[in-house]
């Protein structure tokens, strides 16, 4: 069901004309058939919207593919590095603008949880409750460090079944990585790039944003969400169109069940996970390497928590 159209002029992060089109706002029509909608879900740092939750459970949560791909590519143009863990973002503005088209009353129960339990629950108006939850999430779900890391091993839990989800091991570490650093994603159980989108990712590979923007005619027909995921895992970087040289800010190396040949084909580094003895992390990988167990759950950033 289409509720309306967001004019391109209302979107505050148009980049190089790549988002000049109006955006149709379409979602599951069932939400128009209820007296009241109650959204209940968690809030945590998110690579596309800044923080998850709130009206995001409507848009793009139950929206049509158009707004899903639009919001994800918009976030990728800004870069995950800049947007993740930020409360006020252009993507969140698009989500709120889309939600304003819905006439059905909506309330929110926003939860901030940790392994110790529920840290906070915020109820009521969607935007107000979400912002309160996001402020608490910024204190509970972000590890603030004084200086960036040169090397990190992100150990991915088994719930991450492919690189589409295990990519969190990179983008939740990227803001705390030094230029020229390396993130090793350790997930021996992962043997696929993506169970759903693998064929498209095999075609385009993993690249920084500028690689796509500088060759837009070549990639414009791919879904924005797929391109966005590619940039999330590869991270920030530059691309010189004249020399076709791509320079990532951080190297991403997979210690997974994905073969060396496939890693090279999709433009990612490779290390044999069998060669890594988890009982000998410091000896094998160096004492200056940060080991992150259960990676992907919290965001790392250089700086100080917000007031």
202-255 pLDDT, tens per residue? Answer: 999 999 999 999 999 999 999 999 999 999 999 999 999 999 999 999 999 999
Structure pTM?
A: 0.91
Quick one: average pLDDT of 104-110?
97
Tokens describing residue 253: 């190396």
Would you place residue 15 in the very low, low, confident or very high pLDDT band (cuts 50, 70, 90)?
A: very low
Q: What is the CA radius of gyration of the chain?
A: 20
C-alpha pair distances (Å), 186 with each of 43, 64, 242, 250, 260: 26, 34, 35, 16, 14
- Answer whether residue 196 shows pLDDT above 80: yes
Q: At what angle do helices 90-99 and 65-78 cross, to 10 degrees?
A: 160
Residues in the chain: 307
- Could you tell me the domains of the chain? 1-140 (3.40.50.11440), 143-307 (3.90.226.30)
């Amino acid at each position: 069901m289409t509720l309306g159209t967001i004019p391109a002029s209302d979107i505050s992060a148009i980049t190089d004309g790549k988002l000049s089109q109006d955006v149709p706002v379409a979602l599951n029509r069932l939400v128009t058939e209820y007296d009241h909608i109650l959204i209940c879900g968690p809030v945590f740092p998110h690579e596309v919207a800044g923080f998850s939750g709130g009206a995001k459970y409507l848009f793009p949560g139950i929206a049509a593919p158009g707004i899903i791909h639009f919001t994800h590519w918009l976030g990728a143009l800004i870069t995950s590095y800049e947007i993740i863990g930020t409360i006020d973002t252009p993507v969140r503005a698009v989500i709120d603008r889309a939600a304003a088209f819905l006439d059905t009353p909506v309330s929110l129960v926003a939860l901030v949880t940790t392994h110790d339990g529920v840290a906070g629950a915020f109820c009521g108006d969607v935007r107000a409750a979400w912002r309160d939850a996001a402020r608490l999430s910024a204190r509970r779900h972000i590890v603030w460090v004084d200086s960036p890391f040169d090397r990190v091993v992100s150990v991915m839990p088994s719930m991450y079944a492919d690189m589409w989800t295990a990519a969190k091991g990179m983008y939740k570490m990227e803001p705390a990585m030094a230029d020229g650093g390396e993130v090793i994603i350790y997930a021996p159980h992962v043997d696929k790039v993506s169970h759903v989108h693998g064929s498209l990712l095999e075609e385009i590979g993993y690249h920084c944003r500028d690689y796509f923007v500088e060759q837009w005619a070549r990639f414009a027909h791919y879904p924005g969400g797929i391109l966005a995921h590619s940039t999330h895992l590869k991270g920030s970087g530059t691309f010189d169109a004249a020399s076709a040289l791509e320079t990532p800010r951080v190297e991403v190396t997979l210690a997974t069940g994905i073969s060396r040949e496939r890693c090279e084909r999709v433009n990612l580094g490779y290390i044999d996970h069998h060669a890594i003895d988890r009982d000998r992390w410091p000896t094998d990988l160096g004492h200056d390497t940060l080991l992150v167990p259960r990676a992907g759950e919290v965001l790392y950033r250089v700086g100080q928590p917000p007031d």
